[in-house]
Amino acid sequence: MTAEIDDAEIRRQVAENLQSKFPHASTDEIDLIVGEEFATLASSPVRDYIGVLTERAAKRRLRDAAASA
């Protein structure tokens, strides 16, 4: 049986992954972006890939922010 990971744990894991990939970004900025992206996907009926999709969307925003800085 697979244990379900709760929403807070998914957000924490995604933020942790992104912090190592975007060391220039503050923890607060990453947490905010991850939270916003997660919220847009949270109501989806299929939640199997919510972590991956959240990370992909947040990564895109962080890259865009770094490029415009």
Range 7-21 average pLDDT: 96
CATH topology of domain 7-68: Helicase, Ruva Protein; domain 3 (1.10.8)
Which has the minimum average pLDDT: 1-10, 24-33, 37-46?
1-10
Domain ranges of the chain: 7-68
The DSSP line for 10-69 is: HHHHHHHHHHHH-TTS-HHHHHHHHHHHHHHHTT-S--TTHHHHHHHHHHHHHHHHHHH-
Percentage, residues of the chain above pLDDT 70: 94
Provide the pLDDT for residue 33.
97
User: Whole-model pTM?
Assistant: 0.85
